[in-house]
C-alpha cells in the first residue's frame, strides 16, 4: 500500500474521531488534497456531524472536488429522511454554485417542515435560480412569509431581498394578507430592501406597529 493510500485511510478514519478538533483537522486535510475517494465519506459525515464548524469544513472540502462528481451525490441527499442531510447538502450546493442542481430545489424543500432545511433551501435557491425565473421563485418564497421565529424570518427576508426589485409586487400583495404575521413580515422585508442598514429587529418592530395601527383604523 502506498503512502498516499495510507494517508487517505487515516484521514477517513479521523473524520469519525470522537474529538471535534481531530475531525476538523481531518476535513481540512481532505480538502487540502482532494481525492475522489473521499467524496462519499464527506457527504456521509455531513449528514451526521453535530459540530457546526466541522460541517463547514466538510462543505469546504467537498467544494474542492469536481462539481461533476459532487453535485449528483448531493442532489441524491436531498431525498434523505434525515433533516441534517438535506440541510447540509443544500448548503453545500449553494457554496458550489452549479446551476445544474437547480431542478432539485423543489417547492417541497422550500417549504420543508424543518426550519433549518427550509432556510438552507432558500439560500440555495437564490444562488442557483436561472436568470428570468426570479419572479416565480419569489412567489414561492412569499408563501413562507410569517413562518417561524426571528432567525427563520430574517433568513427568508434575506433570500427575498437577494432577488432584488422583482419581489416588490409580491411583498405589496402580502401586506394585505389576512394573517397579521404575514403582513408584518412583508412590511419588514420591504423596509429592509429599501434601507438595508435599518436592521431586521427595528424593521419587524416597526412593521408590528404599522399592522396594529392598520387594524385599529379598520376597526374604528
pLDDT score recorded for residue 61 = 96
Distance CA 67, CA 58 (A): 15
Residue 1: other Cβ atoms inside 10 A:
7
Which residue shows C-alpha cell 503512502? 3
pLDDT score recorded for residue 2 = 65
pLDDT score recorded for residue 4 = 66
All three cell numbers of 23, joined, read 475531525
**Model confidence, pTM:** 0.87
Q: What is the largest CA-CA distance in the chain?
A: 83
Distance CA 169, CA 214 (A): 20
> Taking the chain (220 residues) in consecutive chunks of 10 residues, what is each chunk's mean pLDDT?
70 90 93 92 95 96 97 97 97 96 97 97 97 95 94 93 93 92 91 76 71 51
pLDDT score recorded for residue 218 = 37
pLDDT score recorded for residue 178 = 92
pLDDT score recorded for residue 65 = 96
**Contact between residue 87 and residue 114 where contact means Cβ atoms under 8 Å apart:** yes
Distance CA 135, CA 11 (A): 45
Amino acid at each position: 500500500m502506498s503512502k498516499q493510500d495510507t494517508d487517505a485511510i487515516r484521514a477517513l478514519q479521523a473524520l469519525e474521531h470522537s474529538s471535534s478538533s481531530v475531525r476538523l483537522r481531518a476535513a481540512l486535510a481532505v480538502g487540502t488534497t482532494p481525492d475522489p475517494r473521499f467524496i462519499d465519506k464527506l457527504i456521509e459525515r455531513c449528514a451526521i456531524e453535530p459540530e457546526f464548524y466541522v460541517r463547514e469544513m466538510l462543505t469546504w472540502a467537498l467544494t474542492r472536488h469536481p462539481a461533476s462528481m459532487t453535485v449528483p451525490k448531493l442532489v441524491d441527499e436531498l431525498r434523505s429522511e434525515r433533516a441534517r442531510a438535506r440541510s447540509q447538502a443544500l448548503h453545500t450546493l449553494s457554496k458550489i454554485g452549479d446551476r445544474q442542481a437547480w431542478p432539485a430545489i423543489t417547492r417541497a424543500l422550500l417549504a420543508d417542515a424543518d426550519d433549518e432545511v427550509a432556510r438552507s433551501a432558500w439560500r440555495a435557491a437564490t444562488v442557483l435560480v436561472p436568470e428570468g425565473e426570479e419572479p416565480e421563485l419569489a412567489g414561492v418564497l412569499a408563501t413562507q412569509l410569517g413562518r417561524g421565529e426571528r432567525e427563520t424570518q430574517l433568513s427568508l427576508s434575506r433570500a427575498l431581498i437577494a432577488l432584488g426589485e422583482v419581489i416588490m409586487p409580491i411583498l405589496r400583495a402580502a401586506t394585505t394578507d389576512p394573517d397579521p404575521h404575514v403582513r408584518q413580515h412583508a412590511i419588514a422585508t420591504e423596509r429592509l430592501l429599501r434601507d438595508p442598514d435599518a436592521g431586521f429587529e427595528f424593521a419587524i418592530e416597526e412593521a408590528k406597529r404599522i399592522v396594529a395601527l392598520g387594524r385599529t383604523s379598520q376597526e374604528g
